[in-house]
Structure 1
Amino acid sequence: MGGRVGVDSKPGRGSCFWFQLDVETAAASEAHEPMANTLTRSHTARERLAALAATQPRKVLLAEDNPVNQEVAVALIGSTGVVVDVASDGQQAVDMVKNGDYALVLMDVQMPVLDGLDATRAIRRLPQGAQLPILAMTANAFDEERQRCLDAGMDDHVAKPVVAEQLFTTLYDWLSGQRKTAKGTAL
Structure 2
Amino acid sequence: MSASSSLLLPFDPGLRVLVADDNELNQLVVCRALEEWNIVATTAENGRQAVELASTQPFDAVLMDIQMPEMDGYEATRRLRRHQHLKQLPIIGLTASFSPTDQARALAAGMNETLPKPFEPTLLHASLVRHTARIRPSVTVRPPAAAPDPTDIGTIRPEWHLLDELAAGNEAFIAQIITTFLQQTPSLYQQLATADRQDLARMAHKLKGQIVYFGVPAIQQCLEKLERPLSPADAEAAPHLVAMVGHQLAALYPHLELRLQNQLRR
Superposition TM-score tier, normalisation by shorter sequence: 0.5 to 0.7
Q: Which residue in the other structure is 2:86 paired with? A: 129
Q: Which residue in the other structure is 1:152 paired with? A: 109
Relative to its length, the structure with more helix (as a share) is 2
Q: Which residue in the other structure is 1:43 paired with? A: 6
CA contact (8 A) 2:13 2:134 kept: no
Q: Which residue in the other structure is 1:69 paired with? A: 26
CA contact (8 A) 2:50 2:76 kept: yes
Letter in 1 for 2:117: K
Q: 1:68 aligns to what SS in structure 2? A: helix
Cα distance between partner residues in 1 of 2:125 and 2:31: 12
2:98 matched to 1:141?
Answer: yes
Q: Give the CA RMSD over aligned residues.
A: 1.7
Letter in 1 for 2:13: Q
Cα distance between partner residues in 2 of 1:134 and 1:42: 23
CA contact (8 A) 2:31 2:41 kept: yes
2:126 matched to 1:163?
Answer: no
Aligned residue pair count: 135
- Deviations along 1:24-79, one digit per CA (max 9) or x if unpaired, are xxxxxxxxxxxxxxx544421x21xx0x2xx3221011110100000000001111
Cα distance between partner residues in 1 of 2:102 and 2:75: 14
Q: Which residue in the other structure is 2:131 paired with? A: 174
Cα distance between partner residues in 2 of 1:162 and 1:87: 18
Cα distance between partner residues in 2 of 1:178 and 1:155: 18
- Relative to the length of structure 2, the TM-score reads 0.48
Letter in 1 for 2:59: Y
Cα distance between partner residues in 2 of 1:123 and 1:131: 10
Q: Which residue in the other structure is 2:13 paired with? A: 56
Structure 1 consecutive aligned stretches of length 4 or more whose deviation exceeds 3 Å: 39-42
Q: Which runs of 5+ in 2 are unaligned?
A: 137-266
Q: Which residue in the other structure is 1:113 paired with? A: 70
Relative to its length, the structure with more strand (as a share) is 1
